[in-house]
A and B are shown apart, each in its own frame.
Chain A
Amino acid sequence: MSAQPAVNTEGYTTADGRKIGGVLMEMKNITLRFGGVVAIKDISFDIREGEIRAIIGPNGAGKSSMLNVISGFYVPTEGEVWFKGYRRGPMKPYQVAQLGIARTFQNIALFDGMTVLDNIMTGRLTLMKTGLLAQAMWWGAAQKEESAHREKVEKIIDFLEIQAIRKTPVGRLPYGLKKRVELARALAAEPKILLLDEPMAGMNVEEKEDMCRFILDVNDEFGTTICLIEHDMGVVMDLSDRVVVMDYGKKIGDGTPDEVRANPEVIAAYLGVAHD
């Protein structure tokens, strides 16, 4: 990473009066190719500190690929990813996690054989430092660290209202709760930026409302920057501060929900255009 702090410090104020900070993450001219297939074509946008940023688009538009680029799972063919004012070179996914970027998955990726508590504790392991020998001895450093982290995890468990299933193996839980546990695991890492890949997919209205509330609360209470992909337009327009619209790997719109809604290209992509 080259030392070139070029953070745009000026923020903006949202319609509901929240202060949004400077640029936390910037995607510059990202192109992603798989052989001959171009998944993402020359896309640039930024994510500012404290905001809820949505990426929307029809199926196959390249949203999930974009999220995978942000989370470091794919390395872009061209273009640069800037994080906290530094250019992020090619990294292994676990190194990206150590930078403070956490994510959830479209199809839940929890550890089925472990309890809810252990799953969420796993989310904190980038923050846990005791070595193999201290762990083997347990008494002392390892136990103290474990308890300190357990306390933090319990706060998240309270926050997401999953106290009752704390010691249940994740494999036994219903879908909606699994989604919530996955959010808890991502939150446990105390991420700078939280990536949510279709957090509301496959949920009923009530579960969606719960999830929306949790997302807003996370943003509000922990000040976590959130970048989410979602298909439910109502949810996206309600939740997010700014929206990127993608279609066929290209960016066709970027702005506040109202701006995006009025954008003729976006309307064309979602509703089709009249041919005369």
Chain B
Amino acid sequence: MFYREAGDFKTTYPEDAQTFPIQFDRVRYYAVLAIAFGVIPFFINDYWANAVFVPFLIYAIAAIGLNILTGYCGQVSLGTGGFMAVGAYACYKLMTSFPEVSILIHVLLAGGITACVGVLFGLPSLRIKGFYLAVATLAAQFFLVWLFNKVPWFYNYSASGQINSPERTVLGHFVTGPNTSAAAKYLFCLVILFALAWVARNLTRGTIGRRWMAIRDMDIAAEIIGVNPLTAKLSAFAVSSFFIGVAGALFFAVYLGAAEVGEVFGINKSFLVLFMVIIGGLGSIFGSFAGAAFLVLLPVFLKNVLVEGMGWPTDLAAHIELMIVGGLIVVFLILEPHGLAQLWRLTKEKLRLWPFPH
């Protein structure tokens, strides 16, 4: 009964175009923000930060990035892991080369560098589509991982071939390195995610988003209407790679602290983020959050239930998790290709009329 739009009239176009046009949604959105910024940081501990919140926040950034490219612009990419690696290594090189500059700037610059690399690997999209493009981005994935393994300059000639993030502070609090508090990690990622999600929403609701969606839905018609396919596709690659690069930088610097490219940013990562986008919902910012939350929480949940609750061996639980994720992908592709976001949308449409559906 709370979910009503009757009497909620819009008198200006900006009001009509806002992200949460229904008042109840808006209130709930502010409540979520208040809890995320005002409550969780005071209660978060290392377990919750490392197992749930920080990976969720970072994967949400990556999922939004991939969703812009695949969900909004219709260009399939399997290079997410490789682009995250570019972000991570760019951030590492910047952190070690310019230690006096703030990590926040490094993370954003790492995103910028990834955007350039993304545009480069996006060039084939001007000629090829669909599966063929997916294979071309797969080449990017393998090439980038190989590059960061092969050229010692990228990992500063360290003997192990690993990169380790040095200690850095923001406003006097450690955000990277062993002395970082759980709350600092969480807040650092949260602020970046909040800003980037806001940017993504703005881009996708305006002209640029419509250019991307036009290319996705019918590229020939889009071109005849006046969309330049070159700039539309490459801008999608650039923005998407920026997000993914920032996610990669945070994943390495804040979450892991140390990384080896083949293990962390391999093809598995590309698929994981792609699954997040598919399960969450293609072409939806909310879907990116939902997908990231789902695939981050699922292993934690299964571990708690199967291993601790029912006493199963860990490896069996891990295999079952893979099977469940695989099964869910198939189920979602068949039953609800638009993912959790579409389920959510349907629920809301039902709620609008509930309890008087006629």
Question: With A135-B202, A150-B13 as given contacts, are A94 and B229 in contact (CB-CB < 8 Å)?
Answer: yes
B253 to chain A, nearest CB (A): 24
Residue among B213, B221, B224 with the highest chain A CB neighbour number at 10 A: B224
Which residues of chain B in 219-247 are interfacial with respect to chain A, using CB atoms and an 8 Å cutoff? 220-229, 235, 239
B70 to chain A, nearest CB (A): 13
A110 to B14, CA, bound (A): 25
Report yes or no: A125 in contact with B13, Cβ–Cβ below 8 A.
Answer: no
- Residues 188-202 of chain B: 1 if any A CB is under 8 Å from the residue's CB, otherwise 0? 000000000001001
Report yes or no: A93 in contact with B223, Cβ–Cβ below 8 A.
Answer: yes
Residue of A nearest to B15 (CB): A147
A92 to B225, CA, bound (A): 11
Residue of A nearest to B72 (CB): A113
Asked if A258 CB lies within 8 Å of chain B CBs, one says: no
- What bracket does the count of chain A residues touching chain B fall in? 35 or more
B219 to chain A, nearest CB (A): 10
Report yes or no: A128 in contact with B207, Cβ–Cβ below 8 A.
Answer: yes
Asked if A180 CB lies within 8 Å of chain B CBs, one says: no
Report yes or no: B202 in contact with A111, Cβ–Cβ below 8 A.
Answer: no
Report yes or no: A111 in contact with B226, Cβ–Cβ below 8 A.
Answer: no
Report yes or no: A125 in contact with B211, Cβ–Cβ below 8 A.
Answer: yes
Asked if A126 CB lies within 8 Å of chain B CBs, one says: yes
Which single member of A71, A122, A125, A138 contacts B202 (CB below 8 Å)? A138
Question: With A109-B220, A121-B210 as given contacts, are A132 and B235 in contact (CB-CB < 8 Å)?
Answer: yes
- Residues 87-104 of chain A: 1 if any B CB is under 8 Å from the residue's CB, otherwise 0? 000001110111000110
Which single member of A73, A105, A113, A142 contacts B213 (CB below 8 Å)? A113
A234 to B221, CA, bound (A): 29
Residue among A92, A93, A110, A121 with the highest chain B CB neighbour number at 10 A: A93
A93: chain B residues within 8 A (beta carbon): 223-224
B190 to chain A, nearest CB (A): 19
Report yes or no: A142 in contact with B206, Cβ–Cβ below 8 A.
Answer: yes
Interface size of B by CB at 8 A reads 31
Asked if A112 CB lies within 8 Å of chain B CBs, one says: yes
A125 to B222, CA, bound (A): 10
Residue of B nearest to A135 (CB): B206
A118: chain B residues within 8 A (beta carbon): 210, 213
Report yes or no: A126 in contact with B226, Cβ–Cβ below 8 A.
Answer: yes
A60 to chain B, nearest CB (A): 22
A189: chain B residues within 8 A (beta carbon): 225-226
B346 to chain A, nearest CB (A): 13
Report yes or no: A111 in contact with B218, Cβ–Cβ below 8 A.
Answer: yes
Report yes or no: B213 in contact with A94, Cβ–Cβ below 8 A.
Answer: no
Which residues of chain B in 25-57 are interfacial with respect to chain A, using CB atoms and an 8 Å cutoff? none
Question: With A122-B210, A136-B203, A146-B206 as given contacts, are A113 and B283 in contact (CB-CB < 8 Å)?
Answer: yes
Report yes or no: B210 in contact with A97, Cβ–Cβ below 8 A.
Answer: no
Which single member of B205, B217, B223 contacts A112 (CB below 8 Å)? B217
Asked if B322 CB lies within 8 Å of chain A CBs, one says: no
Residue of A nearest to B218 (CB): A109
A111: chain B residues within 8 A (beta carbon): 213-214, 216-218, 221-222
Report yes or no: A135 in contact with B218, Cβ–Cβ below 8 A.
Answer: no
Asked if B12 CB lies within 8 Å of chain A CBs, one says: yes
Which single member of A109, A135, A146 contacts B13 (CB below 8 Å)? A146
A185 to B222, CA, bound (A): 11
A272 to B208, CA, bound (A): 53
Asked if B316 CB lies within 8 Å of chain A CBs, one says: no
B282 to chain A, nearest CB (A): 9
- Residues 161-181 of chain B: 1 if any A CB is under 8 Å from the residue's CB, otherwise 0? 000000000000000000000
13 A–B contact pairs at CB < 8 A? A96-B224, A98-B226, A111-B214, A114-B217, A121-B207, A132-B203, A136-B199, A136-B202, A138-B202, A143-B14, A147-B13, A147-B17, A150-B13
Further pairs besides A94-B227, A118-B213, A125-B210: 5, Cβ < 8 Å: A94-B224, A113-B213, A122-B227, A125-B211, A135-B202
Q: Which 5 A-B pairs have the closest CB atoms?
A: A97-B226, A109-B221, A111-B217, A138-B202, A126-B226
Which A residues lie at the B interface, using CB under 8 A? 71, 73, 92-94, 96-98, 102-103, 105, 109-114, 118, 121-123, 125-126, 128, 130, 132, 135-138, 142-143, 146-147, 150-151, 185, 189
Which B residues lie at the A interface, using CB under 8 A? 12-14, 17, 199, 202-203, 205-208, 210-211, 213-214, 216-218, 220-229, 235, 239, 283
